[in-house]
Amino acid sequence: MHTVPSSWRSAEFDQLSAPELYAILHLRQQVFVIEQDCLYPDLDGLDQQALHLCGWREDTLLTYLRALPPGVSYPESSLGRIVVSPAARGQDLGRELVRRGIELTLARWPEAGICISAQAHLEPFYQSMGFDTVSDAYDEDGIPHIKMRLPAA
């Protein structure tokens, strides 16, 4: 069964409903904490400054990322918490999510470019989306990561 988003929504933190925020935090916990067996401070105080991009199928959250303004994590804007629900994988939704995230971020902060801290095994994926690797691998919460950048529009 193909499970693709029937709607995409971007919202500021204070525009999220309680059920939307709960779904976001639940999906992030399900994948980043439980599936990846990684204890880390997901609630890092940055969600309130972020744009949140969600792909929904009815009331089910299938994809999510947050976009942070320039100067919060990096001099550039940034994308993070990029996640596809386990039930919706294998349909190129990650590619669609990142494409939409890039468009959203460059439209909001066109002069800034985008910087990400990517899990190292996803380097080829992000390179295929236009990102350049700008660091050696480093440990972030027990998982190898690399810094990658996409230039401003």
How many Cα atoms sit within 13 Å of 24 on the Cβ side?
A: 25
* Topology, domain 7-112: Aminopeptidase (3.40.630)
| Token digits of residue 116 | 């990400």
Would you tell me how many other CB atoms lie within 10 Å of the CB of residue 135? 12
Phi, psi of 66 (to 5 degrees): -120, 145
Q: What is the pLDDT of residues 59-78, one digit of tens each?
A: 899 999 999 999 999 999 99
| Token digits of residue 87 | 């039930």
What's this model's pTM, rounded to 2 decimal places? 0.92
Q: What are the C-alpha distances in Å from 148 to residues 43, 69, 101? A: 23, 16, 15
Supply the DSSP string of 58-81, one letter for each residue.
Answer: TTEEEEEEEEE-TTTSSSSEEEEE
Over 80: is that where the pLDDT of 1 sits? no
- Look-up: residue for tokens 């294998």? 90
Over 60: is that where the pLDDT of 115 sits? yes
CA distance 142 to 80: 17
Q: Letter for the amino acid at 134?
A: V
